Structure 1
Amino acid sequence: MKTTSTALLATGLLAQYATAHSIFQQSGSGSIDFDTKCTRMPPSNSPVTSATGADIVCNVGGTSGIAEVCEVNAGDEFTVEMHAQMNDRSCSNEAIGGNHFGPVMVYMSKVDDATSADGSSEWFKVDEFGYDASSKTWGTDLLNENCGKRSFKLPSKIPAGDYLVRAEAIALHTAGQSGGAQFYMSCYQVRIAGGDGQLPAGVKFPGAYSASDPGILVDIWGNGFSEYTIPGPAVIDQSFF
């Protein structure tokens, strides 16, 4: 049962931080900084609020491609980068502030042409960090600690070719009510060289989430909160890496 003081605290936080929004913008691989070269940039730092609408794929307008593709190698480290304002990479500012606590996830989708794919093909998850109860650390906390960056390994045992990379953070500060979760995602256009193997099973967006999923409809301020269930599929098996 939520106490009055907890409820008041949450209400105060919501009012104070209602505009603490953010965007996944830049990317890189190893020592190469791609900046926003291959990012399908959202039009603003406002969140998507429907778990089942068309914008859940690659954000508002994100199903239309851009001209540039980032060239990477299978098995390389890839880094996605989030900041609160457009083209502000200052590490003195939080990547996503205002107690916008929640998980961070990365998906990939094999496509014929990354510059024109609409994101309707299947997506498989390659990275995630939800909530560590022992340290009370969220995925978004790690973004803030690392200047907005989240690095992961590109699978090496998947076919070479074009992919979309979908980076996502879900802010759960108002997720105790239906429709209260805030989804922040951007898609990156990449071309992977050197890969060899089969694609893992995937999910579709929309379709992978529902508004009532326990990782989407959840009260993180309640006294009984101690565990968190990350929405979507599990990260693909390590044999693909």
Structure 2
Amino acid sequence: MKVSSIILGLASLASGHSIFQKVSVNGVDQGQLKGVRAPDSDYPIQNVNDAAFACNKDIKHADSTVITVPAGAKVGAWWGHVIGGAQSANDPDHPIAKSHKGPIIVYLAKVDNAATAQPTGLKWFKVAEDGLNNGQWAVDKMIANQGWHYFTMPTCIAPGDYLMRVELIALHGAQVPGQAQFYMECAQIRITGSGTNAGANFVSFPGAYKSNDPGIQINIYDNSGNPNGGGRPYKIPGPAVLTC
């Protein structure tokens, strides 16, 4: 694929963005914007050192809901093009533009009170990730699931309040330095169960990523312009996922 055609494609899809705005627990939808801190803007952050890189900036939607999540539960994170979902009838970019291929990653940070905790200065650990498998990106699966991304909360996590950071990285323009797009919001959750693991391989946001990490500055296209990684394995940025 010629660089010029890639750039033209990016320009035409500049508004195909997304917002994480709902949680489900074992198949039960917890409600629109319940316990999820979200902005009105669906625009990404592109600077990995942005001060708001933990939970996004200009938060307009936040309430006191703390979502109960049993350790071992199937958790869903729902993405929509804009707040509420589709921007218009038959919105082709809901939940996100199909061009915006990339991984989806989930982090937790232990806090005293999830409803009131500030996102700065926290220690984050990774509990789930999905990248590129057999030519299919995590974003492709999310689109096929009508905006839902699912993962299993590790069974060993210690009970208590956490902020849950769900992040989507769109790599359609990432062959150009600084053009990977990061979409993230944080949910307020309370883990229950008998686990004892309080996390490992902690990172800070900002600080966890470098702009030239191999999973951030990358050309995901093959010689024919297909966004399949060109047959190369994709390395998801950040630390290893917590193991129980």
Relative to the length of structure 2, the TM-score reads 0.87
In structure 2, what is the equivalent of residue 231 of structure 1?
237
In structure 2, what is the equivalent of residue 169 of structure 1?
168
Relative to the length of structure 1, the TM-score reads 0.88
2:7 maps to which of 5, 11, 17 = 11
Query: 2: distance between equivalents of 1:61 and 1:68?
Result: 19
The question of whether the paired residues in 1 share the 8 Å contact of 2:103 and 2:138 is answered with yes
Q: Which moved more, 1:107-116 or 1:217-226?
A: 217-226
Q: How many residues align?
A: 232
SS at match of 2:238: coil
Q: 1:6-62 CA deviation, whole Å, 9 max, x = no partner?
A: 323312211211111111111110132112210001231000111111121001145
Q: CA RMSD in A?
A: 2.2
Question: Which 4+ residue blocks in structure 1 deviate beyond 4 angstroms?
Answer: 89-93
In structure 2, what is the equivalent of residue 88 of structure 1?
85
Stretches of structure 2 lacking an aligned partner (at least 5 in a row): 224-228
- Kindly tell me: are residues 184 and 177 of structure 1, through their superposed partners in 2, closer, same or farther at Cα, counting changes over 3 Å? same
1:73 maps to which of 63, 67, 70 = 70
Q: 1:114-133 CA deviation, whole Å, 9 max, x = no partner?
A: 1121222211111111112x
- Give the percent of matched residue pairs that are identical in Structure 1 and Structure 2: 38
Letter in 1 for 2:123: E
Query: 2: distance between equivalents of 1:188 and 1:179?
Result: 27
Stretches of structure 1 lacking an aligned partner (at least 5 in a row): none
Query: 2: distance between equivalents of 1:91 and 1:128?
Result: 30
State yes or no: 1:48 paired with 2:40.
no
State yes or no: 1:198 paired with 2:192.
no
1:28 maps to which of 11, 17, 24 = 24
Letter in 2 for 1:164: L
- Kindly tell me: are residues 91 and 30 of structure 1, through their superposed partners in 2, closer, same or farther at Cα, counting changes over 3 Å? farther
